[in-house]
Amino acid sequence: MIKTLGESANTISRIQTCFKELSVRGEGALVGHLVVGAPDLARSREYIRALIAAGMDAVELSIPFSDPITDGPVLQDANQRALNAGTTPLAIFELVKELRRETSIPIVLVTYYNPVLAMGEEAFLKRGLETGIDGVLVLDLPVEEAASFLSHARRYRVDTIFLATPETSEERLKAIAAETTGFLCFLLPYGMDRGTQLETSLQRVRALVPSELPLVAASEGSGLASFATFIRAGAQGAIVGNALAERIAAGISPEQLREFARELRTSLRAGSPVAPPAPANEVPHLG
C-alpha cells in the first residue's frame, strides 16, 4: 500500500519494516543496485524483475547522470550507457509505478541533485510518493544543505538516506544520522571491504549512530566475499552494485542474473547473524 499524507508521523515505513523483520530473524539485508537504462529501459525492467524474483530484500534504482563523481568506473560506464539509451527521470518514475504493482519490497531511488533541482524538490518527492518510492538517496546533497529537501521528504513520507565514509567525522556522522530515516549507507573505499579495518570502521559508526538506524555497507570493489563480511562485521545490510553492473555490461541474461542474485542471497543468509534488534518500543519513525 502506498503511503499517504494523512498517515501518522509515527508510521513505520516499508524500509524500516523490512529491516526490522530481517533483524528479528537474525538476517542481514541484501540490496541490489542498478543504473536504470543500462543497456536500455526494457532490459533494465527485466533485470529488476529478476532481482526481485531472486529474493532481494530491497532495490536501489539509480537515475543516470552525466557526471557521476561518487561512482567508480563500472557504474560510471553504466550511467553513460543509460544516458545514451535516452533514459529520463520521468521514464524511471513510470517504471517504478509499474513495479510497485508487482512487488512490496522497498524501492530506493538514487540520484544526483541536478535531476531533483530540474524537476523541483517538492514535485520530485511528490511524484515519488505517487509512484511508490520508499526512499531517496541524493549522492551529492550534503546534510548541511538539505533542509528544504528534508522538509518535503517528511511531508511526502519518503525516507531520506545519506552517505557516510570511514573518514566522516564524529560530529558530522551524528548530524547525518539525525536526518536519516531509512538506512545509513556506509561507503567503503576499494580495498577496505574486509579485515580489521572494516570491522573497526563499522564498529565506530555503529557506536555513534542510534541503535535503531540500520547500517548498510557498500564497497567500490565487487568482491563477492565482501557482502557476508559486512554482516559479520556488524552491518545490517549490504549493497551489491558493481558486481551486478559488471555482469550486465557483459551481456548476462535476466535469467542468469536471477540465478547469480539467488546464490548471493543464499550465501548472505548463511553467514553469521546480525546484531539483535532494538526492543519494539525503541523503533520509532526516525525524523
SS3 261: helix
Is 71 known to be catalytic? yes
Catalytic choice (27, 57, 71, 134): 71
What is the length of the chain? 287
DSSP 171-203: HHHHHHHHH-SS-EEEEEPTT-SSHHHHHHHHH
Catalytic choice (7, 21, 27, 60): 60
Sign of CA dihedral 38, 241, 149, 6: positive
Q: In what order do the strands lie in the sheet with 163-164?
A: 159-161, 135-138, 107-111, 58-62, 29-35, 237-240, 215-219, 184-188, 163-164
CA distance 162 to 265: 24
Q: Active-site residue numbers?
A: 60, 71
